[in-house]
């Protein structure tokens, strides 16, 4: 099965509304026609409305960086799925390593967030990945499998096939400039695919797209995207520069266009 490449730009806590608008315009201007890859922009919450306005009618899709599992209530500082949908979000990142490491999100709370995202009709980008010491101890797959098993508990196969994206992001490669080698990324992402076959069946597993995230740059994108189980990228810092981000999108699109899978 051929899977359409998906590249998501995670802008993290960067940019004012004005800066986000300028970057969105620059990204749109770099593509004379819509790319073959699916492109998602995940700006800060404050800029979601403006980016949605500029992206309307274009190939760009809007994503949020996080969400709470409740639809409403006394949860100061949080946002809900209905709020994100109202702004035009189609995607939501769940379980990013920075949320896990810096803000104490647990596998259990990530499960609740993902369940809310999928139940609310959005697509979820579920992030999984190991820390450096866990890789050094040979526990990469043990960590990733636990994150998958808990987060995807109860998820329906049909929903997973249509609205689930998994982002493998080795924590030691995020923002460090040290990306996993293409072979390392493929090894873990092939293990994820095999696990998905056991969890959902062959057809669903083949439909689910698996991104790589962790210091993805224009210079390494082609080799990473050429791997059979790398279906795109979750891009951090490089998504803040329009031409660099566009290069990654094009590499992802080209790699899947020529893929025999």
**Which tokens in the block code for residue 159?**
């929903």
Max Cα distance, the chain (Å): 50
Residue 258 falls in the annotated catalytic set? no
Active-site position among 130, 169, 250, 251: 169
Q: State the DSSP code for 226.
A: T
What is d(CA 143, CA 87) in angstroms, rounded to the nearest whole number?
34
Burial zone of 1 (CB within 10 Å; 0-12 exposed, 13-18 middle, 19+ buried)? exposed
Contacts of 63-66 with CB under 8 Å at 24 or more apart are 63/8, 63/89, 63/90, 63/91, 63/92, 63/93, 63/125, 64/89, 64/91, 64/92, 64/93, 65/10, 65/11, 65/12, 65/92, 65/93, 65/96, 66/92, 66/93, 66/94, 66/96, 66/99, 66/113
Active-site position among 96, 105, 111, 251: 96
Residue 96 falls in the annotated catalytic set? yes
**Which tokens in the block code for residue 201?**
């069946």
Active site residues: 96, 169
């Amino acid at each position: 099965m051929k899977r359409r490449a998906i590249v998501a730009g995670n802008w993290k806590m960067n940019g004012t509304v004005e800066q986000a608008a300028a970057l969105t315009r620059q990204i749109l201007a770099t593509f004379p026609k819509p790319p073959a890859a699916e492109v998602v922009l995940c700006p800060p919450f404050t800029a979601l409305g403006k980016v949605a306005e500029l992206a309307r009618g274009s190939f760009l899709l809007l994503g949020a960086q996080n969400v709470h599992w409740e639809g409403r209530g006394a949860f100061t500082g949080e946002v809900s799925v209905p709020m994100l949908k109202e702004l035009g979000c189609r995607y939501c990142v769940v379980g990013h390593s920075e949320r896990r490491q810096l803000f104490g999100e647990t596998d259990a709370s990530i499960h609740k967030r993902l369940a809310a995202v999928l139940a609310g009709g959005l697509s979820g980008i579920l992030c999984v990945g190991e820390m450096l010491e866990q890789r050094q101890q040979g526990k990469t797959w043990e960590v990733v499998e636990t994150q998958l098993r808990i987060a995807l508990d109860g998820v329906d196969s049909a929903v997973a096939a249509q609205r689930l994206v998994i982002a493998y992001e080795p924590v030691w490669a995020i923002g460090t400039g040290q990306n996993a080698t293409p072979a390392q990324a493929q090894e873990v992402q092939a293990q994820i695919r095999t696990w998905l076959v056991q969890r959902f069946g062959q057809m669903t597993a083949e439909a689910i797209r698996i991104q790589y995230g962790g210091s993805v740059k224009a210079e390494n994108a082609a080799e990473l995207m050429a791997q059979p189980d790398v279906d795109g990228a979750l891009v951090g810092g490089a998504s803040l520069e329009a031409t660099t981000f566009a290069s990654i999108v094009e590499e992802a699109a080209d790699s899947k266009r020529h893929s025999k899978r």
